[in-house]
Amino acid sequence: MNHTENILAYLREELSEAEKLDFEQQLQADPALAAELSSQQQSWQLLGELPARARQKAEIGSWIAEASAAEPAARIRRFSPVSRYISIAAAIILLAALGYLFLPKTATTESLYADYYQPYTYSQTMGAGDSTDSLFQQGVRLFKEEKFDLAIRELQLIASDATIYADACMLIGAAYMQQKMYASAIPYFQQASISPSLADQAHWYQAWAHLMAGEKAEAKELLQKTAASQGYKHQEAADLLRKLD
Amino acid sequence: MITISPLCIHMNKAQTYTEQELVARIKDEGSRKEAVVQLYQHTKDNILRFVLKYGGKNEDRDELMNEGFLVLIKSVEADKFQFQAQLSTYYIGICRRIWLNWRKKDTAEAGRHNPITEQTEASLFVGSIQDDIEKEERLHILDGCLDELGERGKELLIMSREDPPIPWPKIAEMLAFSSHQTAKNAAQRFMKRVSDCVQAKLAA
């Protein structure tokens, strides 16, 4: 066991007297280890206070919500000049929305989804390895069995410095897509896109996550990247862009 | 004939507490709710105006006020509030400081324009209220960093922090890890990630 791995055991007071002595000697000899311990120790102390704080915060939150709900009229007492501008802006937006409703439409997001979207499938095989790989393989298995929530839980345990981290992010994003949790999928596709081998796929699926979350501008920006890449789904991305315009 | 229940009349009457009563109720968990609600009602418009003026949205107000109450309760319990100002003014000052911490980039500008000047505020905060605000800020950041781990990671770290400690095999069983070593390894990684996240956000 290396000394960094001893930090949690030290904080939980699980080390034997001999191990503790050895660890403390290492702390004196290794400033980086001492700094790491100090950093984790601060979070560790705060962590102990968190459950009680969460309970108190939830309780106060419920009182605030109750008090706020009891006075719905209090928020619209006066019309300041700012409120007037807001009202005018709201009226303009409403008119624009009504105009939009009566304009002929090219295609709805749902129809495009039905025509273009195919769920992500994972086909790469990983070699057997350390515990991180086994977590990944378990995540892949759960994903393939369509146990998406369990796959997400397993894959989220993979460390960000692991070699298969980007693949794990891709799978987590895809699992969220399958659960129609589009906003949750976006940051994972973003992480996956850092890997050059996954960037095109990640951009394509992230574009879909934005589109399904109603963020058309962000979706178009990513589709432009996909279309320009000449790689994965570039033709579909170009078609989709035309239909979105 | 229509009759009005005396209970209804009683319910419509808003109880207003004196400063001493408010403080006593904040200290007493059993009657804290009434004091919190009264302070909320008296200060919410002022705090909303401040939040909107300095880059926030309507929905930020209640989150800010919630955090403010956590600090206020600690401060009152530790007798740091010495009636040097009205409790509501003191509470608004706390919320303002928390908000400035949340929006550090705007600190200088907010400090120049706020009706409660730094000098006036400093006189309110005798004792180490600033420490309480900073600690609350660190807890807020830690909570956010834990959320980034996902539900299972958060549960794992909170469970591993229980006092007295829960043995690893028990934690592994409760959170459905394949072995206690897997749970322990995951907790080590998460602890490092959370600690790095907290340091990065504090330094930002």
Reported ipTM: 0.78
What is the average per-residue pLDDT within A123-138? Answer: 61
* Torsion A133-A134-A136-A141 (CA) sign: positive
In a domain, A224, yes or no: yes
Distance (Å) from the C-alpha of residue B40 to the closest C-alpha of chain A? 7
- Higher pLDDT: B105 or A71? It is A71
State residue B151's pLDDT score: 87
State residue A27's pLDDT score: 93
Structural domain that includes position A47: 1-78
Identify whether the C-beta of residue B107 lies closer than 8 Å to the C-beta of residue B100: yes
* Nearest in space to A11 (alpha carbons), one of A40, A46, A35: A40
State residue A75's pLDDT score: 47
Q: Which of A24, A56, A78 is the last residue of a domain?
A: A78
In a domain, A117, yes or no: yes
In a domain, A194, yes or no: yes
State residue B189's pLDDT score: 92
Structure confidence by residue, pLDDT tens digits, A36-81? 999 999 999 999 999 989 999 999 999 999 988 876 544 434 445 5
Query: Do A73 and A119 fall into the same domain?
Result: no
Distance (Å) from the C-alpha of residue A108 to the closest C-alpha of chain B? 31
Task: Give B154's pLDDT tier (boundaries 50, 70, 90).
Answer: very high
Query: Do A213 and A152 fall into the same domain?
Result: yes
Q: Which of A42, A63, A131 lies closest to B36 in CB terms?
A: A63
Domain ranges in chain B are 16-127, 149-203
In a domain, A11, yes or no: yes
Distance (Å) from the C-alpha of residue B20 to the closest C-alpha of chain A? 21
d(CA B144, CA B131): 20
Query: Do A66 and A150 fall into the same domain?
Result: no
Query: Do A205 and A140 fall into the same domain?
Result: yes
State residue A133's pLDDT score: 66
* Torsion B36-B42-B43-B49 (CA) sign: positive
Q: Residue B52 contacts by C-beta under 8 Å, 6 or more apart in sequence?
A: B58
In a domain, A7, yes or no: yes
User: A residues 63-102 near B, CB within 8 Å?
Assistant: 63-68, 71
Q: Identify the residue among B94, B135, B191, B196 best suited for mutation to test binding to A, counting A beta carbons within 10 A and taking the highest.
A: B191
CB atoms within 10 A of CB B203: 6
- What secondary structure does DSSP assign to B73-128, as a single string? HHHHHTT---SSS-HHHHHHHHHHHHHHHHTGGGHHHHHHH-SS-HHHHHHH--SS
State residue A46's pLDDT score: 94
Which CATH number belongs to the domain containing residue A140 in this structure?
A: 1.25.40.10
State yes or no: pLDDT of A147 exceeds 80.
yes
- Higher pLDDT: A215 or A86? It is A215
Q: Identify the residue among B154, B195, B198, B199 best suited for mutation to test binding to A, counting A beta carbons within 10 A and taking the highest.
A: B195
Structure confidence by residue, pLDDT tens digits, A162-206? 778 888 889 999 998 998 888 888 888 888 888 888 888 899 999
What domain count does chain A have?
2
Q: Is B86 left (phi over 0), alpha (psi -120 to 50) or beta?
A: beta
Least confident of A28-32, A153-157, B10-14: B10-14
Query: Do A210 and A130 fall into the same domain?
Result: yes
State yes or no: pLDDT of B8 exceeds 50.
no
Is B16-127 CATH 3.40.50.2300? no
In a domain, A184, yes or no: yes
Query: Do A130 and A179 fall into the same domain?
Result: yes
- Higher pLDDT: B144 or A245? It is B144
What is the average per-residue pLDDT within B63-79? Answer: 93
Q: By CB neighbour count within 10 A (0-12 exposed, 13-18 middle, 19+ buried), where does A74 fall?
A: exposed
Structure confidence by residue, pLDDT tens digits, B113-122? 444 445 455 5
The mean pLDDT value of chain A amounts to 82
Q: Residue A167 contacts by C-beta under 8 Å, 6 or more apart in sequence?
A: A122, A124, A126, A136, A192, A195, A198
State residue B122's pLDDT score: 53
Q: Is A120 left (phi over 0), alpha (psi -120 to 50) or beta?
A: beta
Query: Do A130 and A210 fall into the same domain?
Result: yes
State yes or no: pLDDT of A123 exceeds 90.
no
The secondary element (H helix, E strand) that includes residue B143 is helix B129-148
Query: Do A141 and A45 fall into the same domain?
Result: no
Q: Which of B149, B163, B187 lies closest to A8 in CB terms?
A: B187
State residue A179's pLDDT score: 87
What is the average per-residue pLDDT within B139-155? Answer: 91
Query: Do A117 and A234 fall into the same domain?
Result: yes
d(CA B86, CA B149): 41
d(CA B92, CA B204): 25
Task: Give B84's pLDDT tier (boundaries 50, 70, 90).
Answer: confident
In a domain, A95, yes or no: no
State residue B1's pLDDT score: 41
- Higher pLDDT: A97 or B18? It is B18
**Both ends of chain A: CA-CA distance in Å?**
58
Query: Do A123 and A218 fall into the same domain?
Result: yes
Q: Residue A175 contacts by C-beta under 8 Å, 6 or more apart in sequence?
A: A143, A148, A149, A151, A152, A155
State yes or no: pLDDT of B111 exceeds 50.
no
Portion of chain A with pLDDT greater than 70, in percent: 82
Query: Do A52 and A173 fall into the same domain?
Result: no
